[in-house]
Structure 1
Amino acid sequence: MDAGGVALVGAVAAVLGATVGAGGAVRAAKSQNRGQHVQWRRQVRRDAFAAFLTAINDCHDKILALCANVGRAPTPESAATFAVEVRDLAAVLKQCQDCYNIVRLEGPAEVSSRAEALMELLSQWSAVALQQVEPEIMGLTRVEMERRRLPTSDSLNFPDDAVSQMRMAKTQINDFAEAARRALDHPDGALDRR
């Protein structure tokens, strides 16, 4: 083979080597980008789940504070305190709803459904707590309650006693946290497959 042929083979080999090397570099970059995206997505989900859990626990505490008024004799001071507690509860329920909307968006489906069940439970529990406390604090009769169409624990299919209510809430909070933990342990999206 003459010098021109050797130079041509060398040039082809160099071009081929550069192409293979560039292809490997592109694959490595795509793999790295995928890994960074998975980590970013996991962090976004973690932040959403943590914010929801924080709001839910705040709501839980507000409902318990409201329930502490059951059995107290109505006074002007208790009515004023009750009004503040109701406002605080409404604000934290709104915060829960806002956080829940983000959890629904970020998924996965199992976590979203646990969050939805938890929101339903807290909405029911807060309605029952208001129903149990408001008549006593505000001095309402059963007829006045019915006229105002306040929900009862019977109409909501929710336990009457505070211990059962608290246990039910804690169980669902723990269920959500466990589902969220599983979702974060599988950042590749294995739980997204339905």
Structure 2
Amino acid sequence: MARLRVWDLPTRLLHWLLVIAVVGLIVTGNLGGAWMTSHFRLGYAVLALLLFRLAWGFVGGYWSRFSRFIYSPLTLLRYLRGQSMPEHELGHSPTAALSVFALLLVLSLQVVSGLLSDDEIAFTGPLSRFAPSEWVPLATAYHAEWGKLVLIGLVVLHLLAIGYYKWIRKTSLVAAMITGDKTTDLLQPASRDGLAQRVLALLLAIGCVAIAAFVASL
């Protein structure tokens, strides 16, 4: 048995920053009023984080790349039947991959719909004036109602999955996302997590923040 670096530092930081931002979005969105200023800022933060995750999915650590957890329907079916491969437990398993992509999709829809929203009182998304007039009320309704409920539902499912792995499978997903390492006897590549990767991540992060700031300035 040996320790294998699975989650590189940029991936771990992204994960925990996204957790904080999403919780903050849900809380500030429900409080409303003066809290909406913080809600907007957190929304731009999530936009930057999503852009970073998209880029990091192609150039990040071995186990963080999309190519490592895009599975065929047949692989998913076999996994659900209990015919999993050992390496599935190192990175994202087929079901965990579905959860990741679902969260990324729903968060993206929530951010985009927020940018297109207009409550016709005090808060207007920066992209609402560029969208067709019939899109704005639909985006507003989705963002404030259906989208929020779907996002909360996925977050709850994510927490239940963490609890299942912790208490039933006796595997701590949280610990691995803190340390970056998993103990295994498999001969699998480790994620690169040196200075070069971290400098690259910093440059990408700066670019993503700049894009989010530009959107906010529109």
TM normalised by structure 2 equals 0.43
TM normalised by structure 1 equals 0.46
Greater per-residue helix proportion:
1
